[in-house]
Amino acid sequence: MGLSACGGGGDDSAASKTVRVTLANHVWTENIKQALPEFEKQTGLKVEITQLGEDQLSDQYNVKLNAGSSDIDVMMYRPLQEGKLFAKNKYLADLSEQVKSNKDWDFADFQAGPVEATSYQGKPVGVPIITEQEVLYYRKDLLAKAGLSAPPKTLDELKAAAAKIQAAQPGVAGFVARTGKSPAVTQFSSFLYSFGGDFVDDSGKATVSSDAAKQAYAYYGGLIKDHGPANVSTDMSWPEAMAIFTQGKAAFYTEADSLYKNATDPAKSKVADTVGFAPFPAGPAGSKPYNVPSWALGVNDSSENKGNAWKFIEWATGKQQTLAQQKSGVPSARTSVWANPEGTATYPKDLVEAIAASTKEGVGHDRPLVVKVAEAREIVGQPIVDAIAGKDAAAAADAANTAFQKFLDDEAK
């Protein structure tokens, strides 16, 4: 193997034959570790893996990348959480040339939403490895009892169906979803896009007080307030919302597809036999759920071994590895793998159809694309909580927009 053109600076041949890869604790990582001998045999390279929990991973990156350390070559990162910060700080190498270099690897095979989320200023800085879409989980038995022949295709139909089932089934909520100020933002985002809104416009101005956003806040909050669980709390993240659904206490639930096994596994779910999946219901702007990469691989811009770092990424994100990953339950960003019956054999058929619909119109972010993501989520999540509590959603959206615009102005300084 030839050494990377980016080498030098004391980079001896032994070091450049070793690719140092930092990965998160994840099923994807375990699968890659098992396949590594094949890559090392093919290339003559040695891979050293550092594997960490999410919090440790963030701490490690904060220290090492900030210091310009060259001892990480490949890094697994969360594009929607740290992507903008890492790209802005030039921690991630521009991969424009690499993604074009191998026609068989086929960058065009990656879905548009995840590619958008792993790009910065129009240039690819990462390759998406794990995706998520928002879909509708529902109870087939409750629909049948209420005389509904199919799951709702629009948000208006969702509200009507939730009301009908709730009236017919005392003690069962029509709808459940995340209610906590920050956790709800990701799942609310699909409602926002389907009403025709977004968090910011093309010029970077806050738009959470647009008419579309106000309608989305009022709809989401109202659906939970009027048809959600009795005495619903406003601090639920997915484990609490999922528990209500899997205990048989709700008819409809909008959530990330990646969590589906919690609902279909009889050991975890009382309703495993009756769960169905459907595409996210259409709003005034159509069905526009998020289609995002939860994790991606990037090259540390300070690495002195960029050529071999890319070889690892090219292999780990190639069609063969991606198919193997998806067969083990890790949803990928490659169109060809979703189109391959082998790639969907382990998923419920209706979930595959729901995901296919999501990837067509899917939006590449499920939260504001900013540097300080946690702070932004708190701001834009406040009107969700206010709407659930029965407060004026439009006034809450106006207040949030003012605060969010100030946040964006401060971040741009």
Torsion of CA 254, 360, 99, 308, to 10 degrees: 30
- What is the phi-psi region of residue 240: left when phi exceeds 0, alpha when psi lies from -120 to 50, beta otherwise? alpha
Helices (H), 228-340: 238-246, 261-264, 306-316, 319-327, 335-339
Point out which residues pair with 92 in neighbouring strands.
300
| Token code pair at residue 197 | 């809104």
- What is the phi-psi region of residue 76: left when phi exceeds 0, alpha when psi lies from -120 to 50, beta otherwise? beta
Q: What is the pLDDT of residue 4?
A: 34
Q: What is the pLDDT of residue 7?
A: 37
- What is the phi-psi region of residue 323: left when phi exceeds 0, alpha when psi lies from -120 to 50, beta otherwise? alpha
In this prediction, the residues of the chain whose per-residue pLDDT falls under 70 are: 1-15
3-state secondary structure of 176: strand
pLDDT digits (tens, 9 = 90+) for 122-168: 999 999 999 999 999 999 999 999 999 999 999 999 999 999 999 99
- Please answer whether residues 22 and 72 qualify as being in contact, where contact means their C-beta atoms are separated by less than 8 angstroms: yes
CA distances from 151 to 170, 196, 219, 229 (A): 20, 22, 19, 20
pTM: 0.91
Q: What is the pLDDT of residue 15?
A: 53
Radius of gyration of the chain (CA): 22
Amino acid type, 291: N
Q: What is the pLDDT of residue 10?
A: 41
**In angstroms, how far is CA 259 from the centroid of its own chain?**
11
Name residues whose C-beta falls within 8 Å of residue 210's C-beta, 6 or more positions apart in sequence: 197
Torsion of CA 398, 403, 408, 413, to 10 degrees: 140
- Please answer whether residues 258 and 277 qualify as being in contact, where contact means their C-beta atoms are separated by less than 8 angstroms: no
